[in-house]
Structure 1
C-alpha cells in the first residue's frame, strides 16, 4: 500500500490544493493555523489525500492520517517526509504539540517529551537532550545571591511600564535575569524590541538580558488546530511555558523570584499571571518552587501604561502622548525613519 502513495509539498499560497487539504483535515477534526507555511501530503493513485502534515517555523502541525490507513506505517513515512523537508529548509530543531494518546507515534518518529498538561496536550522536540544542553549553557551566566529575579518580556514596544518593572526588580534583587521573547510580529521586530530593552536598561548594573529561546513558547506559534476551546488553549500555553521555566531555567540560574506587572487590561495575560502562582509558586513543585512578585502597573494620566496603548497612539501619530509613555531611549528608536510600513507609524511619520 505504501508503495502506491506519492508525497508532494504544497505552499500555503496554493489556494486550490489548500482547499482540499482543509477538507481532509476537517474530516479528522483538525484545522489550519494562521502561521502554517507548507504542507506535505500523501496521495494514493486516485488522487485522494491519505496523509498530511504542516510546517510552521520550527513547529510541525496539522498531522493527520486517513482512518482506514492508520496502523499501516503511513504515519512514520509521513513524519520522515515532513522532517526531511524541514531540514532542507534549515530547520533542525523541531517541535510539535499533540494529544498524549499520540505520544508513542511521535516517539517512534524521533520526538521526545518536554512538558505535558494532563490529558490535554504534550510538547515534544526532536532531541532527547537539547533542552538540558540549553540549561547547561544558562548555568554559565548564573550569579550568586540570596534573591535572584527572573522576568520574561515581549516589550512591543518597551514602555515606561516595562522600565519601571525592571528597575523595581533590580532594586530588590541581587541580580535579575530578563528574557526577551523571540518572535517576529507585525509591529516591532525581535531585534528592535531587544534594542529598546537594552537601551532602556543600560543604567542598571545587576541585570543580564538573555536572547529569546525556543523554550519560551510564543502565543503566535502556539497551536489551535486541534483544540477549539480558547480557554483551554490559554491554559495549555501557560502550563507548558511555565513548566519549562520552572524545571529548566529556574534551577539553571538560581532564580528565586519571578517579577510580573499586574494586568488590568488583557484577560489572557491576566490568566497567565494567575497560572504562575500554581505552576511556579505551589509547594507541590519543590525544590524549584519560586515566589511571584506582581508589581502594580505604572499609570500615566490615570490610565495604565501598556504597549497596546502606545501602538494605538503611534497609529494616530500622537507624538506628544507617545513621549509620555516610553523612555527617551525608546522614543529615539521610534524617531527613526527606516521602519517597515506594515507596523504602527513611528513618530517620525
Structure 2
C-alpha cells in the first residue's frame, strides 16, 4: 500500500550516499540531473528508492517511478508531497517540462498544458488560468500603432550594445515592449539588471519595460535530463519559448515585430535567432506572424560590444576600458555595487576570476 512508503528530502549539494543513490536510481531510469536542481524528494520502500522528484526554483524536474511500482499511486502521492514542499518555500507558480506520454500523470496531479513540441516535450503549469490572467494584465499596457516592437533582454550588465538595439527599435516603431529575463542564473541578479536597463533607457519615451515573467523561458532553466542531445535541447527550448511568446504575449500586446542583434560568436544564441524566423514568422491559425528584425551588433574599436566582454574587464578591474562599453548610468551603478570589498558582488567577482580565465562567448 502507498501508506507503507516514507518520503525524504535529499539536498543535491550534500554529496552524501543518499544523493549517490538518487543519481544511480535516475540513471537506471534513463534520466540525468540538471545542475540547477536544489533538492530531491524520494519515496522509500524500506531503504530502497522507488520514486523521486526534484525541484529547481519553481520547476519540477527528474520525476521518476520504478517500473515495478508504477500504477500504484506512488507518482500522484510523490507529486503532491513535492508540490507541498515547494509551497512551504513560497514557490506557488510551478512548471513541469516532460515527455508528451507523461501528460496524464501530471494532469491528474493538477497541472495543465501550456504548449508542446511534437514528440519532444510539453510544458505544464499548476493552473489553468494563470497564463490567461497574465495576458489580460499585459493587454492593459497595449499601445495602438501600425508597428509595435518587442525585445527580450538579459543585460548582464546593460551595455551600449543593448542601448543601440533599443534606440533602433524605438526609432522604427510606434511603441516597443521590452521584457527583462527573470531568472537569476546570470552574474548580475534580476533586480540589478532591471535597474540598469531602466536607468539606461529613461530618456526613450516610447518603451515599456516589463518586469520579469516566468513565461519568458530561460535556456538556463530548460531541462536536459531527459533530452540528451544538445541539438534537441536547443530546438525544444526555442520552440517552447517562442510559441509562448507569439501565441500569448505578442497577441496580448499587439506586437508586430521582434528585434534582435546579430550573434557572431555564440552558436546557441545564433541558433535561437535562426529559429525565430521559423517560429515567429511562419503563418499559423493560432496567431498572427511576428516579423523578426535582426540588426548588426554595435561595435567599439571594430569589436562587437558584449556583456561578456564587460564582465571580463570588470573581473580584471579594467574600469577605464569598461567605461567605453557602457552608458554612464551602468558605469555608476557598477561602481556602487563594487565599492565595498566585502559586498556580495565582490565575492562573486573573486569566485568568477578563479573559475574563468578568458572572455566568455558574446551574449546579450
Shorter-chain TM-score: what band?
over 0.9
Aligned to 1:160: 160
Q: Distance in 1 between matches of 2:13 and 2:147?
A: 51
Q: Distance in 1 between matches of 2:129 and 2:286?
A: 23
* 1:186-335 mapped onto 2 (5 Å cutoff): 187-284=187-284, 287-335=287-335
Instruction: Count matched residues.
Output: 344
Contact 2:154 2:180 in 1 (8 A): yes
Following superposition, the deviation at residue 14 of structure 1 comes to 2.7
Aligned to 1:343: 348
Aligned to 2:134: 134
Q: Distance in 1 between matches of 2:55 and 2:300?
A: 43
Q: Distance in 1 between matches of 2:9 and 2:286?
A: 47
Aligned to 2:84: 84
Aligned to 1:29: 30
Q: Distance in 2 between matches of 1:160 and 1:90?
A: 37
Q: Distance in 2 between matches of 1:284 and 1:143?
A: 23
Q: Secondary structure at the match of 1:227?
A: coil
Q: Secondary structure at the match of 2:151?
A: strand
Query: For the structure 1 residues 82 and 69, does the alpha-carbon distance in structure 2 shift closer, same or farther, using more than 3 Å as the test?
Result: same
Q: Distance in 1 between matches of 2:308 and 2:285?
A: 34
Q: Distance in 1 between matches of 2:156 and 2:179?
A: 14
Deviation sequence 1:272-317 (CA, Å, 0-9, x none): 1111111111123564211000011111111111111111111121
TM-score w.r.t. structure 1 length?
0.96
Contact 2:247 2:287 in 1 (8 A): no
Aligned to 1:182: 182
Q: Secondary structure at the match of 1:110?
A: coil
Which structure 1 segments of 5+ residues have no match?
Answer: none
Q: Secondary structure at the match of 1:341?
A: helix
Which structure 2 segments of 5+ residues have no match?
Answer: 351-364
Query: For the structure 1 residues 68 and 137, does the alpha-carbon distance in structure 2 shift closer, same or farther, using more than 3 Å as the test?
Result: same
Contact 1:182 1:190 in 2 (8 A): yes
Contact 1:136 1:252 in 2 (8 A): yes
Contact 2:156 2:186 in 1 (8 A): no
Following superposition, the deviation at residue 31 of structure 1 comes to 1.2
Following superposition, the deviation at residue 341 of structure 1 comes to 2.2
Moved more, 259-268 or 10-19: 10-19
TM-score w.r.t. structure 2 length?
0.92
Aligned to 2:45: 44
Q: Secondary structure at the match of 1:158?
A: coil
